[in-house]
Structures are given as structure tokens and as C-alpha cells.
Structure 1
């Protein structure tokens, strides 16, 4: 391949570095109105009434709408394709403004004013009378006998879904596995480990806040310009929320300053549309503050995992079990999909000789709503699986690396539940590469039996991750290519650039497939649901795989159309037909082609005899060069005989999937009296197929590793269990890693051609964030002998554990 695989500069680099790139807030018209959401100050209850008297006196206030004015339409918010099967549709449990309060900060009213100050002042002056109920903040409280359902119209209790999965026989249970193991290995000592592992609720902390502005045009169509990962899905959900036809809604997505899954939900776009409609269609902007974003949009699920493992003395895993309990918060959002995904990967990651049992519960609570976040339940799954794996290996004193190599999923693995196959397998090579980098064999033994207050340790964790959502959900994507008069091309993708480099890799793919040189591929970064081909959005690490195949298929058709027209030109005397200035050039090129191929005067040139290389039409095989694609383009547009505007638009309905995999190796220094963990060295090794652009791929890994460091050591969104109020919804108290906390991040790739990827590629966007936290945990175990079962591993938790073990 010529363009795919090159470290080309990002196509959006200049605009983003210079500030010329236009984001949602940059495009607002003058004299726009300002919206401000009024949030509930209770966590569970009902709004009885509002007193708007003082708020309406504020100069500049145009309109105040309350939950009693909002459309009586319940809608889903998850960024999932709509299912034609009603039982698989997302849960419609939300209105644009809610009378029934289910979390502290629920959206109950909104102010529209001439300026932000007036809107904020009026919002503070609104008086609300509530009927208040007891907050139900924890999973335990929500599942307790007699707990009040938060959504009684949808569920008789607070369990959104419970699912049971097995690997092995369909009726396998862990207890049956124990009995079977005793029969299979009579007299042999079997080792059992049972532990509970916790993961926290955390925030995405993307740079650009959720921001949108909306207006109604003269035809009655409501347009929302917004920062979203899923413009086409936002369109559908907005129509559902307002009770209007989908065609009456238009969504425009400019450049976006990060999302990480938070913007894979429909957040405030429907409310903004409603506000504009409420003031006669005037433009209204709605930007949510950092505090509102952290506590009131979406979080990563806090999941508790009760795990069991059974093995032989020589380290063969016989059976495992997990009971996973996900705190979904007040609204369903992505519902059970994330906890089910968590349980599925827990069972896939290792070969249990007898079987694996998984039970997953997703539960409504009166706390911040959880939704999609980078990894979609797999950071939690790998925390559970990799903590348990090290704990099993530790019980028999076995090298954790050796233990994994002995038990991890093998080449050609097929998930029996969904048929997803490990088509290209690099997991064991990744482990060996990571071992070599960190000097594992030397350090793991050296660090096992240290003394003193400051100790070193090495740890590792593996992961697997599918590519896209087939067959669990629909995978569909479209691409459009248009030939410009100068021989360059416009590339229009429904898939969204959200900072991850998608526009660059799609441009490389288009260049690779069509033969148009990379510098002549102009990608349209703005998605507009009125004009952009359909795509479900940026999520599931799907875009280079699913949307990439749409790009490739479209490129093949587009290239074929260019060559078909070039063949027409070479077969006709353009002097008489087209009166084109290129007639003599084409005639001379036709002569050289016929001579090169030995064609007779009565034989036609066909498209199959031609190719495009570096924007030149050439004889297939590369020689001779005939003429520039610009000659074809100019002729096709303006020919007096055969004017053709060369375009292609193709849909890819993807019906395949594959696993990527990899590992993280880390070396830490633990200062036990201070509870301080310093990451001294770290490397992620990834099997992500063929890399479209190695430079952007490495950047993806660096970003994911940084998020993994925060997940492991510092990040946790705290909620008061008595009131349901978020305690640290700001970037002072919510601790994301800074540059000072981040070590040098190292990345290695094992590049294997995956037969299902459009260019041998598979998922990379989310996997880098997955294995870092458990690798750090396992390094702490190697350094101190202490099993940390809860992340983040903060100084307070570490010191408490070290004291409990008598180390300090």
C-alpha cells in the first residue's frame, strides 16, 4: 500500500493549531438568546409547583419554560442505531424537562434571556416546591426489598435488566464446575479464590463542554448546531423528544473538542430545540457549565464485581464466575449494554477448562446517569479479570506473565454467544514484547520480597476488544465522493471526526483506493444531516473498520467511474465531439496506449486497461502515464457531447467483527508511608491490525494511557449517599492527571493483517485506556504483597491497606 501506513500530517492540524477551525460556539449568529437550565435541588421526588414571579422581573428575560410546559414525550438518549424490533429499542424514560425528579440536578425548567447574566440570575430566583422522597443512591439500596421504583411506569423494581451468560455448557454454574473438577481431579488439591473488586463512577472531562444553538427556519424546520458524536442519531431522538417528524429536524456538527462517549448520548440538543421553538424560532444557545457537565450529563458506570476463580496447583484455570452490579443512575441511557459488555469480555478473556458463569445487573439509582465512556464496560471487565488473574497466580506463587500465557484466549477464538472471531491474533506476541521492554523476567522476581518503606514493582494486564457492534446491533455507514473540475475530490463521510484523527485516515483510505493523491483529497469535516450521508456515529472503535469499508467501497466505485470516462475519451476523437483543449493530448495518449497494449484500430480501450496513480491516468501496471485526472474531470464537466458529473455514494452494511488485543506493562515505585505511587515506566503493546497512520495511532494510545492512569490512581466522582448531591463536580476537586503526573508514555504495535478490515485494520480508539489501571494495581501487589481491590488507588486507600497489613 502506498498511502495507507504512512505517517502523514493530520488534515485538520493547521486549522486546529492556528485557531482557524470552527467549533460550535464559533459559529453562533449575533444577537443570539441565551438559555439556562434550572436543576432540581433534591435527588428523588416530584415537582409540585413553581413561583416565577421574581425571575420574570429580571431585565432581559424573554421566556421561562417548566416541566409542565414541556412536550409529554418520553424518548431515549443512547447513541445506538434505532432497532426495528421493539424489544431491542433503547428505553424511553426521559423528557426534555422532568416533573418526576430522579437525581440531584435533574432538569426541571429553563430560562431564555437576552444575555447569560440575566438567564443565570433569573434561574436562581425561581422558587420550586417539591414532594420529596428518600434518595436511593447505591445499588444495594435500589435492589433492597421494598425499594421504591424510580420508573414505575417502566419497571416494577429498579433493575433495568439482569442477564445470565455462560462459557461452556448452557447450564454451567460455578458450583457445578467445582463438583466436576473434584471428579476429574480426584485427590488433587484445587485452589479457589473469591474476591470483590470495585470500580468508580468517573467523568469524561473532554475539553469542549456540551454546547449547542438552535433556530427554526422559515419552513418550520428546527436546526441544532451542536457538539456531538452522533448527529444522525441526535436528529432522530430530537424528533422523538418533541413529537415532530424526523424530516423537520436538522443537526449540524462542526469540529468537536472531544467526547469520549459522553457525546454519544443525546444531551441537551432536544431541550435547545424546544427553547427555540418556544420563542418563535429565534436562535438560542445553550452551553452547560463544567460543574453541570460532570454531575448532570453522563459518567462511566461504577460497577461492583464479586468474582470467583478455581484452578489447579500448576496454574490451569478451571472455572470463574462474576456477579456484576452496575450503578446506572437516574436514567437508562445506554441501559444494560455496558454491563452486559463487561460480563461478556470477562468470560472471553481466558480459557476456563470447565466453564465461566456471568450474572450482570444494571440498576436505576437516584444518582448521576451513567452512559458510554471510552471502553464501554471493558475497563471494568479487565479490572475484575486482571485483578482476579494476578490473585490466582499469587496464591500459587506463579509468574503472572507465565500464568496468562498458559490461560489466555487462543488464536482463532470464536465467542459462542455472538460468533465474533479472533481473525488475526497477536495477543501472545504483545505479551512477549511487553515482557522484553520492561525486563520482566529480571524485575518480577527481584521485587517480590522487598523490605523498607519505599519499594518497586512491575505489573501487567491484558485485554481484548471487539471492533464495532455487529451482530449485537446494526452497523451501517455511507460515504460520498465528488470529482472536482481540477481533478481533486470532495470526500464526505457520515462518520464524525471528534479529535481522534478520523478525517486524516479516511483521506488516506480515499487516496489509497482511488489513486487521487492525498493532497488532492478534501474531506468535509462538518456533518449536516440534511446533506451528509448516513452514519451512526463515532463510537465502539468502529470508524476505520465500518466507515472505512464504506470509504473503500465508495472509492472503488468512484475510481471505476473516472476510468470508464477516461476510456470513453481515449476511444473518441474529442476534437469534433467536445471541442476540448485536451483533444490533441488525449489523442496522442491514446496512440501510446494502443502501442503499449498492442491494440488494433478497431479494438476499444476499456476501463480495466487503465489505472490511477498519483492523480495520473496510466496504463494498468503503471506505464505509460497518459494524462492527469484533471483532464478527465474538466472534460467530463464541460463536454458538449457527454457531460457527466462524476460522483459515487455507497453504503456499507457491515456484517463482520473481529477482536483486537494487547497488554500494558508498568514499573512503579511505592512510598508506603505517603501512600504515593509513582509510575516509573509504562508501555502499551497493541495488536490493532494494520495501522492506517502510525503517528495518529500512537497519539490515540498516549491519550488512552493517560486516561487509564487517572482511572487507576486518582479519578472518582463522589456522591453524598444521604442527599444524592455530587461532591466534587469541578476540576479542582475531581483529580484528572496533569502533565506533572504523567510519565513518558511508550507504545509498541504488533501489526498483523486482519482479513476482515478494509485495509487489514481493526479497533484501536478505546483499547489504550483499558489495561493501565489493573497493570498498576498488579505492580503494587508485586512491590508490597498488598491486594488493592478498589480503584482509584488513592493515598488514603493505600495507607489504610498498608496499615491493615502491618507494613506501616
Structure 2
């Protein structure tokens, strides 16, 4: 291999750093107009009166769309297992089609104007009167009303082995602990934005989406046009992390507005509008109970969670996912419960479930280690399973946690610490060290590609996948270069356009493996075609073969864009997915080591050092992969120390809907982050790739909490770890 494994620069680095890359809100069309949303101010009820006269009088305003004059819109499609695209709707609400209000912040009107300033000014002048209905918006107060989540193959409600509660009661050493995490909101650098253009019944949309193909399917269904009439372009997306996975009101209403006035419309959400119309991470209440013998062997592991969904949508969070696989407990019980609230539905946020679930589980393991007087790494290794613990049958396709702990402990200097809490100090700073396991499931999705080899030696790879800053086009060029044996510089990749062959969504960390598998398959077909051609015409080398055959290029395709071809593609995914789920547990994993310094007087906490070691299978590009890992760790530090969406328990209104009040880490908060990879291919995954987009945010919260305990002697079981909890 001459390209795979090399730390090559991103192929889109130049256009992004020079400002030549155009994002969703940077496309101009003749007659372009601008839209702004008007939000409801109640959590549940009906609009009795809408005052829009002042808004319509603002110079430059074209119209104000409300439920009284908006064009018809088809309802959101209901999810079906055999069509994952139908899980794509952020809510089940049919926007501006009735007077009903379902959450505080729901769009109740759209102002369209000649300028964005006029649209915003007018939107602030729209006033609504309501008939209010009692709503349930307080998550903590609704805990007693939690119900087992509905069971389905994608979001199972839980699992069990043996009688964990009885084993817990009989165990020589037990812990029964409660952990909580708050809601979190998405804060991608690029705001959610849509530019929508109708040409008859043909629709072009520029959008900041991480699910181009599913996005197109959804728009076609909502607006009653053939899917082939919709083109979605998203070649550059300025961060997403799950917030741009689903279809939220802003996009639908931008398209609706463009249809209503017969002109192009651009809608860019304000930061506050993102909070009020784009779902975030659910809060959680978690119970982790552990039973063990005196040697640290786990006899019982109980992990249950309560999360929330909205009354009009949202997905159950797989908070206990990792707890089925990480430890060889003799008896296990994991369960997910949910409460439905009159709030904006929750959605996926980087490592949904595992990001907050590992906080509770890995904190509890550390507490058990302290109770037993066993080193936290040693306790974990004593309970390392040989096969999947929950069923005792499925094998791990790839599991190298022992190697990750060994390497990480050496790089971090773990065994040089004094294990006693509050025993290490540097002047006014209490110094602590913590460790936790990182874990995230791996999967693949269908991907269609074409690969074209031209007589001049150049290669063109085409696939409608997403590039959100992770270097996706770069790694696919590396894969194609090695599959064909050509220089990396000879490969060009086209992506980010629904007119290209169908790409997978960038959610769940499947994109590199999924597209890479199809790229390799297409390259193999190309080589077979060229071999047959060479037998007829002679010549050695691709260029010579094509010149002798007088053929300008040769192309290979994987997948089909026809309706039957797409159905076959879903079958191509679902059949092996179901079969392999019966045989293997696939996951990316790793180890997080954290050093903190806590001011003994004020409780100010600083993360001073970080080491992460990850097993993500084969690493295609160590430069882009390390950037992914560091980004996830930074996001995890926000989860651990700062991020918290504050919701008024009386009204359901988000009280801190901006970066002025919702705190995320800045440069000064981040220490040097040492990232290493084991770089060992998973033999059951395409090219040995496991997927590294999300695993590095998992375990971070627990590593920080465990380090804070080591520094201060205080356990914080409720995130975020703010100084008031340490004083």
C-alpha cells in the first residue's frame, strides 16, 4: 500500500482555508429572497389569533406564511424497518398545516422578505394569542411516570442474563448508584441553513445535511413529487454531530416558502432558532448497581436508564448499550425507560447513548475499584470477557482492550500515581488521574459508487456521501489509489450531491467502511474489465491498454439508482446485517486517560493532560483520524465540565439558547491530547475499518469524573462537574 496508512493532507483543505468552499447559505440565485421563523411561546395549545399586520408593513416583506395561508404539505412518513430513510423526520408535526402547538419554540409562521434584515425585523413583530393546554415539561418531576420504551430491532428496550437483582443482593461487595446527565444542544460551527429553488415541479436544495439521500427521499414525500425531481447539494457541511441527521422544521419551511412565492428562498437559523427547532441530546437518570466478590469478579451488573422523547417524536437513547458488552458479569440486567414530554423531540448527538452511558458505567467501575482497593485498570482486565457477556455465544469480531490499556498506561505514566485520593498536589492545585473505557458499536450501510479510469491515467470516484470536516473524500481517494495501484494524486472524488450514486448517511460512524467497500469492489471490476481488454488488444499498464483499445475511459458501477436497485441495495444491507448480528459483536473501543488539576480553594477544575489509545481497526489516514479523535475528546470535555441546556420546568422554554450562556470548551480549556491507534484491521469489516467518528467522545465524562475524585476525594455523579459541586 502506498496511500492507505499515510498521513496525507485533506484534498479539500485548500478551498476551505482560502474561503473558496461554498456552504449552504452561500449560493446565489436570481430573485433570491430570505426567510425567518416565528416561534411559539407556549408548550402546548392552539393559536387563537395571529397578528401579522405590523410584520407585513415592514419595507421589503413579501409575505408572512401561517397555518391560514401556507401551501398544503404532506405529513411526515411513518418509520418502517425496511426503509431507514423514513426514520428521518425530526418530528411528526405537519408544519403550518393547523393551529396546534406542540412545543415551546415550534415555528408558527415564516416571514419572507427581500433581505434577511427585513425578514428578522418582521418576524419579531408577529404576535400570537393562544388557548393553552396543560403540558408536561419537567423531566425530573416526570421520572415516576417512566415506561419501558417500545421494543424494536433498531432500538431494543434492554437485555438480561440470569437474575441480576438476586445476585446483587447476595454479593459480598455491592454498589447501587444514581447518575444524571443534563440535556445538551448542538452547536455546529455552521448554522443550519437551506437555500431552496423550485423550477416547476423540480426542486433544488442546498442544505447543511449529513444525510443527503434520506433528505431527498423525505422532501419528495412531503411535497408529493418524484424523488428524481429533487436534487440535494451539500458538498461542504460545517460540522453536524447528529444535529443535521434528521429533517427539522427550518428545511421544510424554506422549501414550502419557495413554493409559495415562486422564488428562491434562503433560510439561515439563528443560534437561538437552532436550539428551539433542532433536537439535542436527552437528559438521563441512570442506575448502575454492581455486585462483586472480594477479588473483584463481577457477579451482578445492573444498568437502567430513564430518558425522554417528545410527544411528537424523538428516539430512545441506547444508554445501556455498552453495558451489554464490556464486562463479564455472571448476571446482567440492562433496561431503557422513557418519558414523553411536551418538548422539542430529542435526536442523535455524537455517540448517542454511549456518550452518557459510559459516564455512569465507567464511573461506577472506578467506585468499585476504590471500594475493593484494586487498581481500576486491573479490575477492568479481571472482568474482560472472552465472548459477548449477555448471551455467552457471539464472538467479538475485534477486541484489543488489553493492548490499549497496556499502551495507554505506559504513555500516560499511570502506575506512577499515588492511588490515594487527595494525595497528589502541585502548589494550590490538587492533582488527580482518571481512566475509563471508550466503546461504540460499528456498522456498515449500503453505498453505490462509480469508478472511472481514463486513458490519461486519472481516476474519478463518484458517490453522494457527506463531508463534514472529517476528511471523507481524502480517505476514499487513498482507498481507490491503492485498489488500482495508481498515485494518490491521480484520484479525484466527487461527493455531496444527490445526483451522484447513493451514499450512506454520516451517522453511526459507518461512512468510511461503507463507501470504501464499494470503491474496492468497483476497482476490482475495473481491473477485471481491463484484463479482458488487454487479452484482445495487448499492452501493459492501464493507459497503454486503453490507448490500444482506442477507449477514452472504462467505468465500473456498484449498486443501482432504480427503484428495484434501491430495494436490492437495502436487502444487500439487511440480510448480512441480520446474519452478522447473530455471529459477531462489532465495536470500536479505546482507553481514555485524564489528568486534572483542581484549585483547593475555589474548586476550579482544569484538565491538564490527556492520553487516548483507540482500536478502530485499520487506520486509512492517521492525520485525519487523529483529528477525529481529538475532536471527540474535546466534545467529551464539554459534556464533562460545561455543557448543560437549562429548561424552565414551568414553561418548557430553553433558558440559555446561545453560546453566551451555553458553555462549550474553548482553546484555553484544552490540554495537549496524545492520540494513538493500535491500527489492527478487523477481519470481518470492509478493509478492516471499524469506524472512528464517535468512539472518542465515549468514556471522556467518566475519565474526568474519576480524575476529579482522585484529586479531591469527592464523587460527582451529576454532570456537568462545575465548581459548586466541589466546594
If the length of structure 1 is used for normalisation, what is the TM-score? 0.82
Contact 2:278/2:344, CA 8 A, preserved across alignment: yes
Contact 1:690/1:762, CA 8 A, preserved across alignment: yes
Contact 1:49/1:128, CA 8 A, preserved across alignment: yes
Say which of 455, 458, 469 aligns to 1:488: 458
Q: Which residue matches 2:269?
A: 288
Question: Are residues 144 and 314 of structure 1, via their aligned partners in 2, closer, same or farther at CA, if it must alter by over 3 Å?
Answer: closer
Question: Are residues 420 and 205 of structure 1, via their aligned partners in 2, closer, same or farther at CA, if it must alter by over 3 Å?
Answer: farther
Question: Are residues 690 and 414 of structure 1, via their aligned partners in 2, closer, same or farther at CA, if it must alter by over 3 Å?
Answer: farther
Q: Which residue matches 2:566?
A: none
Say which of 775, 782, 790 aligns to 2:718: 790
Contact 2:165/2:300, CA 8 A, preserved across alignment: no
Q: Which residue matches 1:730?
A: 658
Say which of 240, 265, 278 aligns to 1:297: 278
**Distance in 2 of aligned mates of 1:456 and 1:144:** 39
Q: Which residue matches 1:262?
A: 243
2:244 is paired with a residue of what secondary structure?
helix
Contact 1:478/1:650, CA 8 A, preserved across alignment: yes
**Distance in 2 of aligned mates of 1:562 and 1:461:** 51
Q: Which residue matches 2:9?
A: 9
Would you say 1:201 and 2:183 are equivalent positions?
A: yes
Q: Which residue matches 2:60?
A: 60
**Distance in 2 of aligned mates of 1:143 and 1:445:** 37
Contact 2:88/2:246, CA 8 A, preserved across alignment: no
**Distance in 1 of aligned mates of 2:292 and 2:81:** 43
Contact 2:168/2:174, CA 8 A, preserved across alignment: no
For residue 163 of structure 1, report the CA deviation from its aligned partner: 5.7
2:399 is paired with a residue of what secondary structure?
coil
**Distance in 2 of aligned mates of 1:16 and 1:491:** 21
Of structures 1 and 2, the larger Rg is shown by: 1
Say which of 190, 193, 212 aligns to 2:172: 190
Of 445-454 and 111-120, deviating more is 445-454
2:319 is paired with a residue of what secondary structure?
helix
Would you say 1:498 and 2:479 are equivalent positions?
A: no
Q: Which residue matches 1:350?
A: 327
Of 306-315 and 49-58, deviating more is 49-58
Of 255-264 and 22-31, deviating more is 22-31
Say which of 543, 555, 559 aligns to 1:647: 555
Contact 1:234/1:269, CA 8 A, preserved across alignment: no
Q: Which residue matches 1:772?
A: 700
Contact 1:237/1:270, CA 8 A, preserved across alignment: no
For residue 421 of structure 1, report the CA deviation from its aligned partner: 4.5
Q: Which residue matches 1:555?
A: 523
For residue 28 of structure 1, report the CA deviation from its aligned partner: 2.2
For residue 54 of structure 1, report the CA deviation from its aligned partner: 2.3
2:124 is paired with a residue of what secondary structure?
helix
Q: Which residue matches 1:512?
A: 482
Say which of 593, 598, 610 aligns to 1:670: 598
Q: Which residue matches 2:562?
A: none
**Residue-by-residue CA offset, 1:512-556 (whole Å, 9 max, x unaligned):** 1112321111111332x2x21112311111012222111111111
Q: Which residue matches 1:83?
A: 82
**Distance in 1 of aligned mates of 2:459 and 2:618:** 25
Contact 1:160/1:363, CA 8 A, preserved across alignment: no
Say which of 417, 428, 450 aligns to 1:443: 417
Contact 1:3/1:508, CA 8 A, preserved across alignment: yes
**Distance in 2 of aligned mates of 1:454 and 1:13:** 40
Say which of 544, 555, 558 aligns to 2:512: 544
Would you say 1:403 and 2:376 are equivalent positions?
A: no
For residue 102 of structure 1, report the CA deviation from its aligned partner: 2.4
Question: Are residues 435 and 58 of structure 1, via their aligned partners in 2, closer, same or farther at CA, if it must alter by over 3 Å?
Answer: same
Q: Which residue matches 2:167?
A: 177
**Residue-by-residue CA offset, 1:658-703 (whole Å, 9 max, x unaligned):** 2221110111111132111111211111011111011111111111
For residue 85 of structure 1, report the CA deviation from its aligned partner: 9.8
**Distance in 1 of aligned mates of 2:91 and 2:61:** 32
Question: Are residues 318 and 217 of structure 1, via their aligned partners in 2, closer, same or farther at CA, if it must alter by over 3 Å?
Answer: same
**Distance in 2 of aligned mates of 1:429 and 1:409:** 14
Q: Which residue matches 1:375?
A: 351
**Distance in 2 of aligned mates of 1:648 and 1:733:** 52
Say which of 537, 542, 545 aligns to 1:569: 537
Question: Are residues 445 and 57 of structure 1, via their aligned partners in 2, closer, same or farther at CA, if it must alter by over 3 Å?
Answer: closer
**Distance in 1 of aligned mates of 2:441 and 2:10:** 26
**CA-based RMSD:** 2.7
**Residue-by-residue CA offset, 1:446-480 (whole Å, 9 max, x unaligned):** 656468964211110002221126xxxxx311111
Say which of 649, 664, 683 aligns to 1:755: 683
For residue 89 of structure 1, report the CA deviation from its aligned partner: 9.3
Q: Which residue matches 2:543?
A: 630
**Residue-by-residue CA offset, 1:201-235 (whole Å, 9 max, x unaligned):** 112311111111111114x1122111110011111
Would you say 1:434 and 2:401 are equivalent positions?
A: no
1:759 is paired with a residue of what secondary structure?
helix
1:90-101 matches, cutoff 5 A: 93-97=92-96, 99-101=99-101
Question: Are residues 674 and 706 of structure 1, via their aligned partners in 2, closer, same or farther at CA, if it must alter by over 3 Å?
Answer: same
If the length of structure 2 is used for normalisation, what is the TM-score? 0.91
Q: Which residue matches 1:804?
A: none
Q: Which residue matches 1:692?
A: 620
2:721 is paired with a residue of what secondary structure?
coil
Question: Are residues 289 and 158 of structure 1, via their aligned partners in 2, closer, same or farther at CA, if it must alter by over 3 Å?
Answer: farther
For residue 9 of structure 1, report the CA deviation from its aligned partner: 1.4
Question: Are residues 448 and 143 of structure 1, via their aligned partners in 2, closer, same or farther at CA, if it must alter by over 3 Å?
Answer: closer
Q: Which runs of 5+ in 2 are unaligned?
A: 560-568
Would you say 1:279 and 2:261 are equivalent positions?
A: yes
Figure out how many residues of one structure are paired with residues of the other and give that number: 700
Question: Are residues 447 and 197 of structure 1, via their aligned partners in 2, closer, same or farther at CA, if it must alter by over 3 Å?
Answer: closer
**Distance in 1 of aligned mates of 2:46 and 2:391:** 46
**Distance in 2 of aligned mates of 1:660 and 1:9:** 24
1:792 is paired with a residue of what secondary structure?
coil
**Distance in 2 of aligned mates of 1:207 and 1:86:** 26
